[in-house]
């Protein structure tokens, strides 16, 4: 038979009836304890000085405490038969406790030995003899914060709904926002778990609440927390920048620690039962309108079980005036990439090319690109900023390219002519003739070949060859090259201009052989 402890109010009632002059049989007829227990209560009270003629004023709290303490001495065990059975397995249970075996598993192991005991009794036995387990540890209620200080956020799967675009049923994910102080809540529905959907939910929350809370306590959703840790979590860079833009701090809850965001955990269950259960919506837009009305009316005007107040009224009175102003406009969500600088001094971001200053070829740089700007960082230092260009385009800064290759990279015809003119006036004029074409950039290689001849034969000889080619109305760089190979750049009548170091062929004829003999004159 299970042990039953007589509570203090029953003991007080027994003594009150006894002081009223009733006998033990009469008292047992109207109170739960049996006559044996009643007799023992009366004997203990009389032994402590209870006078039957002294009235009920003697039964104050101090006297009742003495009576209860004395009664407990006479019942050292205070447990039933199950407790005794468990005590017989004490050594085995001690080994399980040391091995951190859960109490639920202990019940199963004992049952295999034909020792069937209530799980709750085993919990009490383990707690009394070995101290509280990890699941049986004590806890304390967390005090409320100041108005507008904390907002708890949970990201859960709610169910399915038809997609208006495709007609297929799609998963509905919800962001549930709950104020810690007022318990006022907001719900955002989405088909996506991407970062842009999460930020859209936060923007909608600031609009719904009319301001921004000081601290946001989210769960460990991957779009916010990149690497979860109890003391030093690593947050998503894009969300951190969004928090800086909106003006709030992020303090994520610990992994598998729902007590860190108990306020919003309660609202998730309430949302499922009160809003979603039994409903049917055409699409996500209709469901979002309905859930916002639910937040204001059903959830906002209910009498909260803990505070006994209406959450929306508490929010309007105490929190709405102290919230920070909501940011204007929508957040320009950037993309972040690590890109390698190619040999052409450019990095590729979103199928567009952006130039990088020299000296970084082959290195990996960090890139932040929003809808307007692209910022490039090398080892944390901002090295370049470009305007954002569409996919397939490029943004090139001339200063990022080597000076000797700028004209080629940008197809700068004027600069190429200026470079050629620097080697000689005739060289510049010849380059201008070569580039005088409907598609001048297709002739740029010939001019580069001409500049190569200047480096090989010298500016003076090439300038002379170009002058002679221009006189002959020739625009072929190949011909100029042959003239230089054969030293024909000088005028044929000007023998002094022929260099002495020119080697003539073995069977070459003299100049007199080619002289014109007048008619009628013999040699």
The mean pLDDT of 79-85, rounded to a whole number, is 79
| 3-state SS track over 142-204 | CCCCCCCCEEEEEEEEEEEEECCCCCCEEEEEEEEEEECCCCCEEEEEECCCCHHHHHHHHHH
Residue 278 has pLDDT above 60, yes or no: yes
Is residue 148 within 8 A of residue 323, CB to CB? The reply is yes
Q: Where is average pLDDT lowest: 52-66, 68-82, 240-254, 328-342?
A: 68-82
Three-state SS for 434-463 is: HCCCCCHHHHHHHHHHHHHHHHHHCHHHHH
Contact present, 44 and 71 (Cβ < 8 Å): yes
Provide CB contacts within 8 A for 366, sequence distance 6+. 336, 337, 338, 376, 377, 378, 380
Q: What is the pLDDT of residues 228-249, one digit of tens each?
A: 887 788 898 899 999 999 999 9
Per-residue model confidence (pLDDT) at position 164: 73
First to last CA, the chain: 157
Confidence of residue 3 (pLDDT cuts 50, 70, 90): low
pLDDT for 451 equals 87
Sorting pLDDT into bands at 50, 70 and 90, what band is 150?
Answer: very high
d(C-alpha 115, C-alpha 85), whole Å:
8
CA atoms within 13 A on the CB side of 449: 16
pLDDT at 1 over 50: no
Say what the pLDDT of residue 522 is: 55
- Name the average pLDDT for the chain: 85
Contacts of 472 (CB under 8 A, 6+ apart): none
Q: 523 - beta bridge partners?
A: none
pLDDT of 496 > 70? The answer is no
pLDDT confidence of 445, banded at 50, 70, 90? confident
* pTM listed for this prediction: 0.60
Distance CA 58, CA 55 (A): 6
CB contact at 8 A, 45 and 67:
yes
Asked if residues 9 and 59 have their Cβ atoms less than 8 Å apart, the reply is no
Which value, in Å, is the radius of gyration of the alpha carbons in the chain?
47
At 257-268, the pLDDT tens digits run 888 888 899 889
Q: Specify the pLDDT at position 144.
A: 75
Tell how strand 225-227 and strand 234-235 pair up: antiparallel
Task: Work out the pLDDT band at 358, boundaries 50, 70, 90.
Answer: confident
How far is residue 11's CA from residue 45's CA, in Å, rounded to a whole number?
A: 10
Q: Pairing state of beta strands 150-162 and 215-218?
A: parallel
- 492 has a pLDDT exceeding 60: no
Task: Give the confidence band of 396 by pLDDT, cuts at 50, 70, 90.
Answer: confident
pLDDT at 138 over 90: no
Range with top average pLDDT, 49-58, 319-328, 454-463: 319-328
* 427: number of Cβ within 10 Å: 27
| pLDDT score of 232 | 81
Spatial distance between the Cα atoms of 218 and 240, rounded to a whole number of angstroms = 13
Instruction: Tell me if residue 511 falls in helix, strand or coil.
Output: helix
Q: What is the pLDDT of residue 523?
A: 52
Q: Is the pLDDT of residue 145 over 50?
A: yes
pLDDT for residue 110 is more than 60? yes
What is the structure's pLDDT at 344? 85
Higher pLDDT, 8 or 401: 8
Q: From the CB of residue 34, how many other CB atoms can be counted at a distance below 10 Å?
A: 10
CA 492 to chain centre: 80
C-beta atoms surrounding 154 within 10 Å: 22
| pLDDT per residue as tens digits for the range 186-229 | 999 999 989 999 999 999 999 999 999 999 999 888 889 988 88
Residue 345 has phi, psi (to 5 degrees) of: 70, 25
- The whole-angstrom separation of Cα 290 and Cα 294 is 6
pLDDT digits (tens, 9 = 90+) for 15-57: 989 998 889 888 888 888 888 889 989 999 999 999 888 888 8
| pLDDT attached to residue 254 | 87
Using the 8-state DSSP alphabet, how is residue 383 labeled? Answer: E
- Arithmetic mean of pLDDT, 398-422: 73
Residue-level pLDDT at 495: 46
Strand partners, 373: 387
What span, in angstroms and rounded, lies between the C-alpha atoms of 389 and 412? 22
Q: Nearest-CA neighbor of 450 among 460, 440, 461, 462?
A: 462
Higher pLDDT, 370 or 447: 370
Q: To the nearest whole percent, how much of the chain has pLDDT over 70?
A: 87
Indicate the pLDDT class of residue 330, thresholds 50, 70 and 90. Answer: confident
Q: Are 377 and 366 in contact (CB under 8 A)?
A: yes
**What pLDDT sits at residue 386?**
95
What are the respective helix, strand and coil percentages of the chain, to the nearest 5?
45, 15, 40
Flag whether pLDDT at 499 surpasses 60.
no
Confidence at 136, pLDDT banded by 50, 70, 90: very low
Distance CA 459, CA 465 (A): 10
By the 10 Å C-beta count (0-12 exposed, 13-18 middle, 19+ buried), 367 is classed as: buried
Least confident of 55-59, 255-259, 325-329, 352-356: 255-259
């Amino acid at each position: 038979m299970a042990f039953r402890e007589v509570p203090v109010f029953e003991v007080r009632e027994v003594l009150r009836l006894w002081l009223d002059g009733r006998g033990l049989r009469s008292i047992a007829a109207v109170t739960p304890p049996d006559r044996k227990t009643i007799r023992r209560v009366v004997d203990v009270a009389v032994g402590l000085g209870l006078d039957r003629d002294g009235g009920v004023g003697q039964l104050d709290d101090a006297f009742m405490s003495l009576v209860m303490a004395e009664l407990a001495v006479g019942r050292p065990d205070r447990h039933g038969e199950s407790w005794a059975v468990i005590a017989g397995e004490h050594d085995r249970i001690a080994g399980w406790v040391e091995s951190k075996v859960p109490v639920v598993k202990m019940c199963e192991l004992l049952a295999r030995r034909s020792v069937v005991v209530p799980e709750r009794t085993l919990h009490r036995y383990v707690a009394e003899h070995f101290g509280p387990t990890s699941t049986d540890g004590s806890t304390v209620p967390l005090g409320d914060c100041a108005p507008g200080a904390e907002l708890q956020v949970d990201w859960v799967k709610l169910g399915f709904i038809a997609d208006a675009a495709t007609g297929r049923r799609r998963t509905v994910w919800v962001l549930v926002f709950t104020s810690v102080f007022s318990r006022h809540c907001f719900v955002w529905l989405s088909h996506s778990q991407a970062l842009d959907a999460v930020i859209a939910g936060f923007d909608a929350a600031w609009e719904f609440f009319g301001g921004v809370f000081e601290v946001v306590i989210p769960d460990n959703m991957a779009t916010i927390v990149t690497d979860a840790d109890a003391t030093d979590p690593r947050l998503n860079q894009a969300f951190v920048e969004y928090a800086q833009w909106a003006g709030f701090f992020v303090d994520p809850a610990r992994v598998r620690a729902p007590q860190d965001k108990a306020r919003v955990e309660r609202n998730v269950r309430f949302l499922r039962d009160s809003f979603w259960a039994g409903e049917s919506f055409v699409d996500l837009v209709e469901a979002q309108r309905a859930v916002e009305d639910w937040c204001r009316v059903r959830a906002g005007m209910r009498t909260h079980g803990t505070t006994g107040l209406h959450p929306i009224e508490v929010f309007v009175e105490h929190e709405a005036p102290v919230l920070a102003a909501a940011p204007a406009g929508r957040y320009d969500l950037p993309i972040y990439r690590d890109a390698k600088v190619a040999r052409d001094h450019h990095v590729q971001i979103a199928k567009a090319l952006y130039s990088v200053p020299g000296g970084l070829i082959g290195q990996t740089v960090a890139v932040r690109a929003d809808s307007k700007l692209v910022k490039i960082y090398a080892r944390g230092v901002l090295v370049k900023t470009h305007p954002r260009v569409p996919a397939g385009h490029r943004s090139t800064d001339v200063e990022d390219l080597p000076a000797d290759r700028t004209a080629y990279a940008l197809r700068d015809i004027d600069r190429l002519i200026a470079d050629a003119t620097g080697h000689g006036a005739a060289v510049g004029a010849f380059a201008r003739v070569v580039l005088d074409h409907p598609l001048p950039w297709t002739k740029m290689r010939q001019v580069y070949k001409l500049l190569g001849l200047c480096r090989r034969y010298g500016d003076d000889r090439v300038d002379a060859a170009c002058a002679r080619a221009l006189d002959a109305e020739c625009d072929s760089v190949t011909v100029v090259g042959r003239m230089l190979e054969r030293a024909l750049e000088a005028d044929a009548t000007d023998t002094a201009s022929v260099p002495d170091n020119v080697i003539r062929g073995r069977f070459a004829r003299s100049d007199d052989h080619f002289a014109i003999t007048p008619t009628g004159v013999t040699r």
